[in-house]
């Protein structure tokens, strides 16, 4: 098997990377009809498997689970997840031959093995689905010619796929049909119905390609979504403690600060998030973000280049072949950080106090979102996709940190995202050493506004620059169609 993207001509690479059509509500008029009465079998019942299955069943579809024999025999968490929700469960031999749609929601590392086992059992003309295109694009997996291959990629952790659905909303979703596997020309209608069943149509669906999904998803998760949040959490916590802020207060400020800031981001973009700061703090956050962008640009470019060339996937697959030695070591190290181990204070912190005392966190979000968006769009990824993959998803990841810090984020995201997040984090922290040495507690841990005045002309210029960044333009357009978006409880 060879990297599919690298086998394409440049023309075809650009065409697939640039495929990204924002779908109108009326294109979903048929609802879930195409899947009603079809037997849908999900393989794996983890972060995506469980939550997509629950949404699809609530949408009136026939959902059951195929688990590997040992998961059933040992009643592993996947079995317990499916069983507790009263889903029908069986092994591959029992479940796959009668399935019309098989949804592979096992970890990316397992896809070649799982798909190779499942493919001979699939009935003629059935459909196989993925939620991330790594196996097809980076590993070059070939699927039987009679099988239709589709992808529905929620731009969200699995837990939030469910939470947003329960709120009557959804998460932005990329859908695609693999051009090499659509023998009956039915993939598009099926995957549209699948998007309605998971709730994606309420938040925004992009008709995209496997290639565009993989290259943008890997970039978003490694940089702004998980990498930046991890790096900035650890550095900000350590800085506060070094400057004498009570550790339990510092831990709480970081754990929940991301959620407060990105809730403002979700509803009104960077403009609204920055407007929620005091004017002196906004100016300071803007300046810090500018510095951060200069320092981190080469790292963002490196991640994008390595993702595009296949270098990233090659090194991660070497780790797979090496029993995940790097992933497991880095996971353990993250569990041992002082931020992770510090109990949070029971003291109440008001929403405004979170905003006032987190100028540096706001700067990290602004720098990370704009850099991720700019790097992706300069590499051929479309604006809508880059927006979902940076700004819109950041709050959904922040929700996981608010539950149980970085442990929860890294547990909920895919192993692929977790690996890329650590890779970024380890390269980023040393780059930020000099920057962090200059940081004082007036930008993290305490309020900036008390001691500072505002130059009106400077503020006007900064407001204009924040509002006119291209991500704010596309964001306002996309959010205008998110009429069902709800605020956090
Ligand atoms: N995590 C997320 O939120 C997101 C994930 N995705 C994509 O969704 C897919 C699923 O990821 P995710 O939900 O994180 O996966 P998980 O890590 O949650 O694992 C899913 C399930 O796979 C089963 N599994 C593990 N190894 C095997 C194997 N060798 N054979 C069969 N089953 C196995 C596990 O059950 P058991 O070990 O009990 O058999 C587990 O319940 C990936 O392609 C990922 O990139 C896309 C968007 C977001
Ligand atoms: C951000 C990580 C992710 O891509 C996701 C939740 O969307 C993943 O692979 O888990
Ligand atoms: Mg993703
Ligand atoms: Mg991912």
Q: Is residue 53 included in any domain, yes or no? A: yes
30-55 pLDDT, tens digit each: 999 999 999 999 999 999 999 999 99
Q: Are residues 197 and 292 in the same domain?
A: no
69-88 pLDDT, tens digit each: 999 999 999 999 999 999 99
Q: Are residues 55 and 171 in the same domain?
A: yes
Ligand closest to CA 156: 2
Complex ipTM above 0.90? yes
132 is catalytic: yes
94-113 pLDDT, tens digit each: 999 999 999 999 999 999 99
Residue 418 near ligand 2, beta carbon < 6 Å: no
Q: Domain containing 188 — which CATH number?
A: 3.40.50.720
257-288 pLDDT, tens digit each: 999 999 999 999 999 999 999 999 999 999 99
Q: Is residue 100 included in any domain, yes or no? A: yes
Q: Are residues 262 and 140 in the same domain?
A: no
| Per-residue confidence (pLDDT) for residue 450, from 0 to 100 | 66
Q: Which atom number of ligand 1 is nearest to the Cα of residue 159?
A: 3
Of 181-185, 316-320, 415-419, 447-451, where does mean pLDDT reach its minimum? 447-451
Q: Is residue 195 included in any domain, yes or no? A: yes
Residue 319 near ligand 2, beta carbon < 6 Å: no
Q: Which of 174, 208, 242 is the last residue of a domain?
A: 208
Q: Is residue 3 included in any domain, yes or no? A: no
CA distance 450 to 14: 51
Q: Are residues 192 and 251 in the same domain?
A: no
Around ion ligand 3, residues with a beta carbon closer than 5 Å are 217
When divided into structural domains, the chain yields a total of 2
Categorize the per-residue pLDDT at 486 as very low, low, confident or very high, splitting at 50, 70 and 90.
confident
pLDDT, averaged across the chain: 97
Q: Is residue 429 included in any domain, yes or no? A: yes
Q: Which of 208, 237, 268 is the last residue of a domain?
A: 208
Q: Is residue 10 included in any domain, yes or no? A: no
Q: Domain containing 397 — which CATH number?
A: 1.10.1040.10
Known binding residue 278? Answer is yes
Known binding residue 145? Answer is no
Mutation pick for ligand 2 pocket among 155, 200, 395 (CB with most ligand atoms within 8 Å): 155
Q: Is residue 169 included in any domain, yes or no? A: yes
Residue 157 near ligand 2, beta carbon < 6 Å: yes
Which residue has the CA at smallest separation from atom 31 of ligand 1?
68
| Per-residue confidence (pLDDT) for residue 449, from 0 to 100 | 76
Q: What is the mean pLDDT of residues 455-466?
A: 97
| Inter-CA distances, 369 with 96, 145, 283, 410, Å | 41, 40, 17, 20
Q: Are residues 236 and 315 in the same domain?
A: yes
Q: Are β-strands 173-177 and 101-104 bridged in parallel, bridged antiparallel, or unpaired?
A: unpaired
Whether pTM > 0.90 for this model: the answer is: yes
Q: Is residue 145 included in any domain, yes or no? A: yes
Q: Are residues 385 and 457 in the same domain?
A: yes
Sheet holding 101-104, edge to edge: 20-22, 205-208, 173-177, 148-154, 127-130, 101-104, 39-43, 62-66, 88-90
Q: Which of 146, 176, 208 is the last residue of a domain?
A: 208
Residue 133 near ligand 1, beta carbon < 6 Å: no
Residue 390 in this model has a pLDDT that exceeds 80: yes
Residue 483 in this model has a pLDDT that exceeds 90: no
Structural domain for 455, as ranges: 213-480
Q: Are residues 221 and 191 in the same domain?
A: no
Q: Are residues 415 and 475 in the same domain?
A: yes
| Per-residue confidence (pLDDT) for residue 451, from 0 to 100 | 67
């Amino acid at each position: 098997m060879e990297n599919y993207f690298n086998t394409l001509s440049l023309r075809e690479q650009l065409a697939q990377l640039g495929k990204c059509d924002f779908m109108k509500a009326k294109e979903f008029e048929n609802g879930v009809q195409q899947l009603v009465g079809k037997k849908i079998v999900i393989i794996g019942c983890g972060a995506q498997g469980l939550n997509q299955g629950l949404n699809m069943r609530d949408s009136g579809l026939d959902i059951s689970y195929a688990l590997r024999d040992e998961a059933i025999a040992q009643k592993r968490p996947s079995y317990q997840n499916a069983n507790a929700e009263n889903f029908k469960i069986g092994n591959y031999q029992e479940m796959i031959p009668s399935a019309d749609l098989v949804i592979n929601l096992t970890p990316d590392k397992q896809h070649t093995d799982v798909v190779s086992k499942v493919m001979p059992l699939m009935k003629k003309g059935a459909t196989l689905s993925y939620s991330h295109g790594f196996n097809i694009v980076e590993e070059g997996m070939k699927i039987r010619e009679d099988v239709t291959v589709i992808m529905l990629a929620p731009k969200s952790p699995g837990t939030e796929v469910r939470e947003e659905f329960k709120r009557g909303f959804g998460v932005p979703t990329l859908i695609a049909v693999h051009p090499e596997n659509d023998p009956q020309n039915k993939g598009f209608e099926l995957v549209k119905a699948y998007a309605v069943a998971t709730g994606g149509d309420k938040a925004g669906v992009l008709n995209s390609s496997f290639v565009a999904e993989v290259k943008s998803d890997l970039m978003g998760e490694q940089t702004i979504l998980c990498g930046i949040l991890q790096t900035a959490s650890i550095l900000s916590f350590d800085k506060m403690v070094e400057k004498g802020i009570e550790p339990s207060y510092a831990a709480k400020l970081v754990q929940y600060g991301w959620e407060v800031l990105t809730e403002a981001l979700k509803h009104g973009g960077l403009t609204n998030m920055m407007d929620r700061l005091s004017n002196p703090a906004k100016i300071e956050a803007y300046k810090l973000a500018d510095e951060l962008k200069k320092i981190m640009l080469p790292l963002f470019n490196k991640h994008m280049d390595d993702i595009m060339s296949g270098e990233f996937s090659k090194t991660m697959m070497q780790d797979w072949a090496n029993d995940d030695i790097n992933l497991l070591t880095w996971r353990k190290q993250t569990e041992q950080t002082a931020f992770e181990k510090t109990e949070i204070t029971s003291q109440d912190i008001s929403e405004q106090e979170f905003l006032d005392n987190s100028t540096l966190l706001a700067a990290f979000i602004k720098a990370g979102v704009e850099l991720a968006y700019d790097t992706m769009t300069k590499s051929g990824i479309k604006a809508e996709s880059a927006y979902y993959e940076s700004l819109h998803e950041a709050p959904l990841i922040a929700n996981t940190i608010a539950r149980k810090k970085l442990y929860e984020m890294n547990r909920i995201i895919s192993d692929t995202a977790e690996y890329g997040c650590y890779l970024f984090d380890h390269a980023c922290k040393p780059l930020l050493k000099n920057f962090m040495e200059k940081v004082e507690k007036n930008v993290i841990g305490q309020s900036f506004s008390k001691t500072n005045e505002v130059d009106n002309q400077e503020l006007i210029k900064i407001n204009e620059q924040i509002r006119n960044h291209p991500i704010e333009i596309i964001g306002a357009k996309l959010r205008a169609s998110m009429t069902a978006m709800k605020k956090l409880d």
